Chains A and B, each alone.
Chain A
């Protein structure tokens, strides 16, 4: 256990559904991240929140919408997804600004879009 939890662990949704992924960190960190990892592809950084402000958004389609209500919680709202969005979605957290910016990952949500 890394101190980062994600729910649900598995999600199957149709292209017209709306769902949300949840991440919670219990490490007292001040930054949280969403990554996408498709089969046989590297980690793709989607969003970064530092001190609850979005500081990075790597050209992610608008059908993905992040929300960070406080430093411990991060959501990824999903709507009208495409089959190519099927992937492992990973949340991570870190303590930014002290040089030792180790990221700790949650277990991930395995998303399948039908």
Chain B
């Protein structure tokens, strides 16, 4: 089982719709959770971080964390063509005396105009 799993997509949504991206993780010791956006040929940029169960909203983005079910999701409201990118989920956990940062493989999102 992969430590951080994401559906590779592509996930296609029409402009103005809600895009829902999901991520599951295997280690219950995971402490902090991140969503990055990566445009083709560019480096990842942080969108959201979340540390406790529940929802966290920032503009059109909402991150949801459920530690009991070991999943974290990202909702993008009013999706725009400029949101088309690969979205990477990352998990930070403390193991063997050190912090370990693990990325998922990413979900490619296409917002259709």
Residues of A within 8 A of B (CB): 2, 33, 42-43, 45, 50, 55-56, 88, 90, 94, 96-97, 99-108, 110
Contacts and interface: CB of A to CB of B under 8 A. Distances in A.
Contact of A105 (B44, B49, B98): B44
Does more than half of chain B's interface fall in helix, strand or loop, or is it mixed? strand
Interface of B: 31-32, 34, 41-46, 49, 51, 88, 90, 92, 98-101, 103-106
Contacts of B51: 99-100
A102 B104 contact: no
15 contacts: A33-B101, A42-B106, A55-B98, A56-B98, A88-B43, A90-B44, A94-B101, A99-B31, A99-B51, A100-B51, A103-B46, A103-B101, A105-B44, A108-B42, A110-B41
A102 B51 CA distance: 11
A107 B34 CA distance: 19
Contacts of A55: 98
Given A43-B88, A99-B31, A100-B51, A106 B43 contact: yes
A42 B103 contact: yes
A45 B92 CA distance: 14
Contacts, number: 49
B43 to A, nearest CB: 4
Contacts of B32: 99-101
A96 B32 CA distance: 12
A108 B98 contact: no
Given A45-B103, A105-B45, A106-B43, 16 more contacts: A42-B104, A45-B101, A50-B98, A56-B98, A88-B41, A96-B99, A97-B99, A99-B51, A100-B32, A100-B51, A101-B32, A101-B92, A103-B101, A104-B46, A108-B43, A110-B41
A42 B105 contact: yes
Contacts of B45: 2, 105
A40 to B, nearest CB: 9
Interface centre among B34, B88, B99, B105 (most CB of A within 10 A): B99
